[in-house]
Amino acid sequence: MTRLPSAFAEFEPFAEKWCLATEPERWNMRLATPMPEIREFYDVFTPRFEEAIDYCDKFPLEDVPDDVLNLLHLIYSMIMVSMAVEVFGTQKPADSADAVMHRVSAPVP
């Protein structure tokens, strides 16, 4: 089963793990994923990140096909893991105690 648009088929290996609909899910996945895996996702997706955004921008937010919505979720996960790679060098921010994320609402899609 494919989750992503065919133009982004090379990212299918990351889709099951990182196509997550909510920010708390992405945060928890970042915390639970070893840095080598996070770094692999980051390194593979970074070169086509802007292209993926441009692709998603072709669709109206109120009528996004499922495969494009999954690509959008992958973009959101990339944003979440980029902080771990570019800023902290680890899944969890330093000196964050037991940081958790509680959202009362979330952007859609």
Q: Structural domain of residue 48, as residue ranges?
A: 8-88
Total structural domains within the chain: 1
- Residue 52 confidence (pLDDT) above 90: yes
Contact 72, 54 (CB under 8 A): no
* Residue 107 is assigned to a structural domain of this protein: no
* Residue 47 is assigned to a structural domain of this protein: yes
Reported pTM: 0.85
* Residue 109 is assigned to a structural domain of this protein: no
* Closest CA relative to residue 3, chosen from 79, 66, 73, 75: 66
* Residue 52 is assigned to a structural domain of this protein: yes
* Residue 73 is assigned to a structural domain of this protein: yes
* Residue 43 is assigned to a structural domain of this protein: yes
* pLDDT tens by residue, 61-71: 889 999 999 99
- Mean pLDDT within 43-53: 98
C-alpha torsion sign, points 53, 54, 57, 59: negative
* Residue 96 is assigned to a structural domain of this protein: no
